[in-house]
Amino acid sequence: MLFTDKERFKAAFTDKIVDQLGKPLEEASGADVFNILGNMVREQAGRNWAETNRRYRQGQEKQVYYFSMEFLIGRLLGNNLLNMGDLEVVRDGLEELGFRLDDIEEEEPDPGLGNGGLGRLAACFMDSLASLGYAGHGCGIRYKYGLFEQKIVDGYQVELPDYWLQKGNVWEVRREDKSVDVKFWGRVETDVDSSGELVFEHKDYETVRAVPYDIPIIGADERHVNTLRNWSAESVMQPSKAFGMRAGSDYHKFLEYKRSVESISEFLYPDDSRYEGKLLRLKQQYFMCSAGLQSILRTFDKLGLPYTALPDKVALHINDTHPTLVIPELMRLLMDEKKMGWDQAWDIVTRMVSYTNHTILSEALEKWPVPMVRELLPRVFQIIEEINARYCAELLRRYPGDEGRLADMAIIYGDQVRMANLAIVGSHSVNGVAALHTEILRKREMRLFDEMFPDRFNNKTNGITHRRWLLHANPQLKDLIDDTIGTRWKTHPQELIGLIKYCEDASFQEKIGEVKRANKLRLAQYIESRHGVKVNPDSIFDVQVKRLHAYKRQLLNILHIMHLYNQIKAAPSMDIVPRTFIFGAKAAPSYHLAKRIIKLINTVAHTVNNDKDVNGKLQIFFLENYSVSLAEKIIPAADVSEQISTASKEASGTGNMKFMMNGALTIGTMDGANVEMHEMLGNENMFLFGLSAEQVLDYYQHGGYYARDIYNGDGRVKEVLDQLMNPGAFCCDGQDFGQIFHSLLDNNDEFFVLKDFASYVETHVEIDRAYRNRPEWLKKSIINIAHSGKFSSDSTISRYASEIWNIRPVEL
Ligand SMILES: *Cc1c(COP(=O)(O)O)cnc(C)c1O
């Protein structure tokens, strides 16, 4: 705790304002208050941070490093105050000084250093590691520009650069003294040293300086403070050093070098499934891996232990394949710099590295052109070649003459380096992120690998931190739960199950209903302030927020809304519970179909929201710039959570868990972690529809699906699809949606939107029916909240810790 009581906080805070800003409190702006408060919190955390590090070093505790190209951490002020136990005192104190903490939190830039679920998972894991007392740290990139800021202009997505550092970052500490050098390009010379050993020397390289910016990750006990270390790429100031042997004092050349170096940590790639700008992307990956490993080895060196002890003291985890280069890079460091032999180095590396697979979408499986890797990273490429040669030899020993298997499983094949294959071969653990996803990996996508390495594959279902997604995002619900079952659930989220006892208690149901209504009113005000339209808080808030992607099927949602609208137009007296459909989604800038779908949603919204016949029965809002801070506003207000991906395509989902924890009921397919939700909730407390993963995969394999048959056979489908092509029903934009129409019919509807349409429509009718029975609905909502503790990332992290990393919490 930073402050023992409110009066002390007020006095200390007022002094700081005067001392640091040279102005009286009355003149302080919201931004001033944020900065001063942030600095006070950081300073306090600093003491615990130093102590945590001292303790880790002294106890020689095993450290986990979580390598991820994305950390979507969200705003930190509120969560830091929460974890430090200062939230109430600060809120009340500021109130008396004339400031609202909620407004002050809005002053903080929301760092968009991630695309979506994968980056947010990394952030939830950081919070759980520190909160459970594990020595676990993050390793990432300090992008100067995060994911683009999205504006909606005339219904179209417009991307603006997100310069989140403009006003500085109170949380980070630049650690110049911990900088390391990363080398690119050049060539490798082979020589024999005095003892007859082969030595490899990297010549004519270009040097990039990696400077770490550390962010303290404050655990829920406030005392454990771990580190998120993000690397920034900078030029080396002496040109002779920068270019190695290619020395030259040509100033132009130096400026060119400086620009190209700084571009490495300039932008986060805004595409979460395909990668453009390949060379820069590869540079980013190697930059992060090499800088991270060098700094980890430096820390390890201080322990004074032999390198054979590395796997007992350090675990390296790679979040998807983006950091796979840790495998050959650590081989390089151990062999070339620490003079270790191949076999011993390989044993150490594979015992240290573990890998999480996040997708089976084939367009997202990373592959690099061989010439690119060879030229950019000549020594690392040699090592990858050697790993591949030894592994392919072993494959042929096990499966003599099986060239087909070799073609599927090789790391280098044709002209490509396949990162997933390298990650599997070079690690001791490969995990999927939900039971169904892991099953599909083992039985289908990676079947041959599972056969070759049967103990390597395991499942770790994703999770979310209940501290951010419940305690912080939904304080009224937190208070109500505290009043009902006590407070132990905050440290033992599984104990939320205690709420089950109250699911039929009429007075508790009413209280749950009141909390939801208060959250809906708050969101309604937010929407009104943005869209200038009044929102009916008694309507069903039906929400789909997530990245825009064909497989996530926002298209199915909007086609269903078009159908509802058609029904109302045909029979304006139709009896339905009023619905407010809420969307939030960013589309990758080059993903044209996704951007068309955004335009379609906005076009339909415009028509429906302005049609008098609709008479309040339907409202549709697309909230721009979906991000962590917006998610925290939207999710607590949702009645219905749309988790409608094509079965087999969503590896886990974590949005689904956030909604469940906040009492929304899910309409979903049997996909990702929805399957595990359903296992606990049963059919009564969740609305399932659509094809199963098995059916979808069988269609892909054997064919037999004809989208046009559905178009011809189902009048509702024909009507909405024809409306995509004909101006009229939806204003004058009709022709714009030809691309969507063609993707469904000419390209035979790759994601089974039309196939699942009928079942989706029926299930929404069921939701309408269920909502009318308020006690029953609230009961379902309570049952959802009660079971959501299973999805706390605290449980997920405990399992990673004991089953993959072999670490235990460190007592402080
Ligand atoms: C949780 C979260 C996601 C992931 O949502 P899914 O529904 O699992 O795809 C994406 N973006 C943000 C900002 C999130 O908070």
Distance CA 259, CA 264 (A): 9
The number of folded domains in the chain is 3
Distance CA 489, CA 702 (A): 48
Q: Are residues 20 and 76 in the same domain?
A: yes
Element (H, E) at 141: strand 136-141
Ligand 1 center–CA 588 separation, angstroms: 15
Q: Are residues 227 and 161 in the same domain?
A: yes
Where does a domain end: 215, 237, 269?
Answer: 269
Q: Is 119 in the pocket of ligand 1 (CB under 6 A)?
A: no
Report the sign of the C-alpha dihedral through residues 660, 662, 666, 668, in that order.
Answer: negative
In a domain, 672, yes or no: yes
Distance CA 723, CA 170 (A): 51
Would the pLDDT of 196 be above 90?
A: no
Query: Tens of pLDDT along 528-541?
Result: 999 999 999 999 99
Ligand 1 center–CA 626 separation, angstroms: 9
Q: Are residues 295 and 264 in the same domain?
A: no
Q: Are residues 87 and 190 in the same domain?
A: yes
Range of the domain at 398: 281-459
Ligand 1 center–CA 117 separation, angstroms: 5
Q: Are residues 505 and 424 in the same domain?
A: no
Residue 736 · residue 746 · CB < 8 Å: no
Q: Which long-range contacts (CB under 8 A, 24 or more apart) does 490-497 make?
A: 490/220, 490/466, 491/220, 492/789, 493/466, 493/788, 493/789, 493/792, 493/794, 493/795, 494/789, 494/790, 494/792, 494/795, 495/789, 496/785, 496/786, 496/787, 496/788, 496/789, 497/786, 497/787, 497/789
- Pick the residue whose CA is nearest to atom 11 on ligand 1: 116
Q: Are residues 113 and 193 in the same domain?
A: yes
In a domain, 150, yes or no: yes
Residue 464 · residue 658 · CB < 8 Å: yes
Mean pLDDT, rounded, for 570-589: 97
Would the pLDDT of 548 be above 80?
A: yes
Mean pLDDT, rounded, for 785-804: 98
For the record, the structure tokens of 731 come out as 């204003």
| Mutation to probe ligand 1, out of 120, 628, 646 (largest number of atoms < 8 A from CB) | 120
Element (H, E) at 311: helix 310-313
Q: Are residues 440 and 512 in the same domain?
A: no
End-to-end CA distance of the chain: 16
* Residue in this structure with the two tokens 């390198």, named with its chain if needed: 307
Note if the pTM is more than 0.95: yes
Would the pLDDT of 527 be above 60?
A: yes
Q: Are residues 135 and 190 in the same domain?
A: yes
Q: Are residues 303 and 362 in the same domain?
A: yes
Element (H, E) at 666: strand 665-668
In a domain, 809, yes or no: no
| Mutation to probe ligand 1, out of 124, 125, 273, 547 (largest number of atoms < 8 A from CB) | 547
Query: Tens of pLDDT along 106-161?
Result: 999 999 999 999 999 999 999 999 999 999 999 999 999 999 999 999 999 999 99
Task: Enter the DSSP assignment of 106.
Answer: H
In a domain, 605, yes or no: yes
- Structure confidence at residue 735 as a pLDDT band (50, 70, 90): low
Q: What is the 3-state secondary structure (H, E, C) of 467-514?
A: HHHHHHCCHHHHHHHHHHHCCHHHCCHHHHHHHHHHCCCHHHHHHHHH
| Pick from 339-348, 363-372, 503-512, 623-632: least confident | 363-372
* Residue in this structure with the two tokens 């007392």, named with its chain if needed: 133
In sequence order, the 6+-apart residues with CB closer than 8 A to the CB of 88 are: none
In the prediction, which pLDDT does 246 show? 52
In a domain, 664, yes or no: yes
Q: How many residues does the chain have?
A: 812
Where does a domain end: 426, 459, 492?
Answer: 459
CA nearest to 130, candidates 230, 229, 225, 228? 225
Q: Are residues 48 and 144 in the same domain?
A: yes
Mean pLDDT, rounded, for 778-798: 98
Query: Tens of pLDDT along 609-660?
Result: 999 999 999 999 999 999 999 999 999 999 999 999 999 999 999 999 999 9
- Pick the residue whose CA is nearest to atom 9 on ligand 1: 546
Task: Enter the DSSP assignment of 726.
Answer: S
In the prediction, which pLDDT does 245 show? 40
Q: Is 38 in the pocket of ligand 1 (CB under 6 A)?
A: no
In sequence order, the 6+-apart residues with CB closer than 8 A to the CB of 238 are: none
Collapsing DSSP to helix, strand or coil, 7 comes out as: helix
Residue 433 · residue 460 · CB < 8 Å: yes
Q: Are residues 28 and 161 in the same domain?
A: yes
Q: Is 549 in the pocket of ligand 1 (CB under 6 A)?
A: no
Atom of ligand 1 nearest to the CA of 552: 9
In a domain, 754, yes or no: no
Q: Is 655 in the pocket of ligand 1 (CB under 6 A)?
A: yes
Ligand 1 center–CA 132 separation, angstroms: 23
Ligand 1 center–CA 432 separation, angstroms: 18
Ligand 1 center–CA 510 separation, angstroms: 29
- Pick the residue whose CA is nearest to atom 6 on ligand 1: 655
Ligand 1 center–CA 169 separation, angstroms: 24
In a domain, 380, yes or no: yes
In a domain, 182, yes or no: yes
Q: Are residues 491 and 372 in the same domain?
A: no
CA nearest to 757, candidates 644, 650, 651? 644
Atom of ligand 1 nearest to the CA of 630: 13
Active-site positions read 358, 546-547, 552, 654, 658
In the prediction, which pLDDT does 122 show? 98
CA nearest to 74, candidates 630, 657, 659, 793? 630
Backbone torsions φ then ψ of 474, nearest 5 degrees: -135, 65
Where does a domain end: 217, 243, 269?
Answer: 269
Q: Is 654 in the pocket of ligand 1 (CB under 6 A)?
A: yes
Q: What is the CATH number of the domain that holds 452?
A: 3.40.50.2000
CA nearest to 269, candidates 255, 290, 283? 283
Atom of ligand 1 nearest to the CA of 72: 13
- Structure confidence at residue 722 as a pLDDT band (50, 70, 90): very high
